[in-house]
Structure 1
Amino acid sequence: MGETMDRLVSAVEGAGATVFARVNHAEGAAGVGMELPGAEVLIFGNPELGTQVMQDDIRAGLLLPLRVLVYDDAGQTVILWQEPEEMLGDLSIDDDAAYIESIGDALDNLTGAAAG
């Protein structure tokens, strides 16, 4: 799982986006004497795209930067993210905004690189 997250970080940085945080949920749980399977979230973004979204609806700031969860499911590594259409669906954003497709394509490409 960690190797997958490492590849995601490399792909994000290689694409010119900014990694804001890598949150290790399992490590946090262990720190309070609890257990979780391996689970990390990468928080990252591209201000060129994210700013466009927030210009159309500032409430998108609650949803951005983007997040991708990589976790262990019974020995299988899973990569999970929310599709931009779903994530932004309750906001005042045009369904046909070009950046929605751009964000979706970026997530597909980055997670594809992480999957190997």
Structure 2
Amino acid sequence: MDTNNGLIIKESPYDFDTTYTKLRSIIDTNPNLKIILELDHSRNAASVDLNLNPTRIILFGNPKLGTPLMQTSQTVSIDLPQKIIVYVNDSGNVNIAYNDPSYLKSRHQIEGKDDILAKVSGALNAITDKVISAE
């Protein structure tokens, strides 16, 4: 795991498609989470004759956790719902990355919501660890 400019980045031992499929399945089968949007950046790049290593993002949320954060600081809504990207870097490694909730706390001056931020952090860590773990 690497933390870089407010991002937590983890390397996947799986290929791109397997990593993304596992991520989507984990989120989709969690009754507390709702998938909002999926976006294939590399497909969009190809639509205008540009190349981009495989890069997909999935946006998902839990309003019971996100809403109290937005009630404290509405600007955090620019970073919510949560999102995780799966991408192939220039070295050919498959990575997954997401915003570190402590970075969002600092960025949006969120006070008094450490319990919620800890839940979000734990959930994101658990989801991504499950994606990259051996089954």
C-alpha displacement at 1:9, in angstroms? 1.1
Gaps of at least 5 residues in structure 1 are: none
Identity of aligned residues (%): 24
SS at match of 2:52: coil
Whole-Å separation in 2 of the counterparts to 1:92 and 1:77: 32
How far 1:95 sits from its partner (Å)? 6.4
Tell me, in whole angstroms, the C-alpha distance in 1 between the residues paired with 2:73 and 2:128: 26
Aligned to 2:17: 2
1:97 is aligned to 114
Tell me the TM-score normalized by structure 1: 0.92
Moved more, 73-82 or 23-32: 73-82
Partner of 1:14: 29
Cα gap change, 1:22 to 1:45, in 2 (>3 Å): same
Quick one: distance in 2 between partners of 1:95 and 1:61? 17
Corresponding residue of 2:46:
30
In structure 2, how many angstroms separate the alpha carbons of the residues matched to 1:97 and 1:76? 33
- SS of 2:51's equivalent in the other structure is coil
The number of aligned residues is: 116
Give the deviation of 1:88 after TM superposition: 2.8
Aligned letter for 1:107? L
**Cα 1:80/1:95, change in 2 over 3 Å:** farther
Higher helix share: 1
| Aligned-CA RMSD value | 1.4
Aligned counterparts, 1:1-116, within 5 A: 1-16=16-31, 17-73=33-89, 74-94=91-111, 97-116=114-133
| TM-score, scaled to structure 2 | 0.80
